[in-house]
Amino acid sequence: MAGLDQLIKYLVRFYLTGQSYIEIIPNLIHLTYQENKGISFSFLADLPTMLRVPLLSGVSAIVIVGLSFYIYKKWETLLQWEKWGFVFILSGALGNFWDRAVRQQVTDYMYFHYYDTGFFVNNLADDLISIGFVLIVISGFLKKEVNAAKQ
């Protein structure tokens, strides 16, 4: 999935400019091209490059290694929803890490808006992380139901 994220980002950089867009769902979602030097909502984007890139890439690398270790150790005990959730999160983290480490910024391209009211621009990696989180939350509720049924 991280490879698909990188492919889409490449195509967006190749075919779109900051001024062009492709409407996917009218007045709701369109593809655009935007670079984000920071993290969510461009937080930390104004830091000097010599500080920002190692900091954001380093934190991302630590999270990826830690999450990979956790998944490896717990894989047999995880519910299916959790497994999918962690795989999605890890894939998204890898996609954005690659951008940060290699390109020093993340390519965002899905612009969510309602007519003229804009909300945010993100990418597949961001969506994978969000979907993975939701799957893990659902798994938490399923575990709670299983534990309640056992008592």
Residues acting as catalytic residues: 108, 126
Residues in the chain: 151
Residue-by-residue DSSP string for 115-126:
TTEEEEEE-HHH
At residue 13, what is the residue type? Answer: R
Neighbouring residues of 80: CB distance < 8 A, sequence distance ≥ 6: none
- Tokens linked to 144: 């709670």
| CB contact at 8 A, 82 and 139 | yes
Cβ neighbours for 4, distance < 8 A, ≥ 6 positions apart: 124
- Work out the burial of residue 89: count CB atoms within 10 Å of its CB; fewer than 13 is exposed, 13-18 middle, 19 or more buried: buried
